[in-house]
Amino acid sequence: MDTLVGIGTISAYTYSALITLFPPIAKALSAEMHTYFDVTIVVVGFVLLGKYLEANSKLKTGAALEKLIGLQAKTALVRRDKDTVELALEQLQLGDIIIVKPGAKIAVDGEILEGGSNVDESMVTGESIPVSKQVGSNVIGGTLNKSGSFEFKATKLGKDTTLAQIIRLVEEAQASRAPIQKLVDQISAVFVPSVLAIAAITLIAWLTVGTVVLGFSSALSLGFICFVGVLVIACPCALGLATPTAIIVGTGLGAQHGILIKDAQHLETLSKAKIVVFDKTGTLTKGKPEVTDILTFAGISEAELLATTAAIETKSEHPLAEAIVNKALQMKLELPSISKFESIEGKGVVAQIGEASFIIGNQSLMNDHKIQLSNEAKELSQQGKTAIYIARGQSLVGIIAVADTLKEETLHTIKQLQDMGLRLVMLT
């Protein structure tokens, strides 16, 4: 592409400059004093515009990589020689003991030695509910510690971490060449010499045959404009720009939306796909639990049940508790004050509000307190919802169902894909 544009524009510019700067030469060659500066400017302008668009798309898609790199923690609290020091990631060593506080990003991959917490790993897995981590559990660099604190031993650093491998995957995809690009190279290897030959034959034909009919000066002028025209018009700009730009934009936009494309070959093969397999959490759903149902018994109102439960759950660190508290805040409910609170790991909480004692948790906690359950929870469970039981004293007063709800655009997207004749599968 550059060869054709270069020869064409340089020839047009050189010819125009000669007849402008040296009028005697112009008079000898052509009485009409034709110059082709406009051709040169327009062609170079179009090519530069194409280059600019390509460079701009690369910059935009580079933001996808920047976003991934931004997920990395910048520093880590490290225990060194009985002291706790804050070090940059580059200064970490394998086997370092790293301290992670609530709300902090985990610096590198490692194994927990002391403490425990709930870690938000949605960056890697897409799962909205934080994963419980105990001594011996593995943690991934770039994920978020939601609650609790712990110490872990660094087992992978730098390019070996999970996040670094994801970043490398995106970089390799953007640099890879699609099969169609190899075809473009094969075509160009024949196409460019052929165009140069046709342009040369065109000029020679005008100088020989044209001179006999029109005279040398007119034949030269017309022959030259045809020579430049063949070179520029035949320039395969689309072949040179379209394919790499499409690959860069495609892989970059994919990365921004959490879709990792291994290489350009797979991006091209995707057009032949007949079946689309979806993950559920964070893909079809919002990836964040929300309150979907509030069932009440024993004469308690929905607002009173939600306000009471939210007041107690504000003391809890469980991921589902956050969904209940958020729902109460959305409804602008006034939360009562609680006097006692006890968390029962893996089951729920027990609390006191005024003279009444409340038990909030799963079926196992209700069974421990010999509380009679209703049949509605079974139906909620079949709908993929998590049932949270609320008992006052020894009586069940309500059930709050929490679930990961569909994204607003999911139904529209599914219908569009089905209309395209694709078979859709949910693998979860």
Cα distances (Å, whole numbers) of residue 258 to 57, 126, 175, 407: 18, 9, 19, 15
What pLDDT sits at residue 31?
44
Low-confidence ranges of the chain (pLDDT < 50): 31
What pLDDT sits at residue 238?
65
Whole-structure pTM value: 0.52
What pLDDT sits at residue 54?
66
Per-residue tokens: 398: 């309500």
What pLDDT sits at residue 109?
93
For residue 399, what are the contacts with CB-CB under 8 A and spacing of at least 6?
Answer: 293, 294, 295, 374, 376, 377, 380, 387, 388, 389, 390
Residue listed under structure tokens 């005024």:
354
Q: At residue 42, what are phi and psi to the nearest 5 degrees?
A: -65, -45
Annotated active-site residue 279? The verdict is yes
**Burial (0-12, 13-18, 19+ Cβ within 10 Å), 36:** buried
Catalytic residue, chosen from 109, 279, 404, 419, is 279
What pLDDT sits at residue 131?
84
CB contact at 8 A, 87 and 76: yes
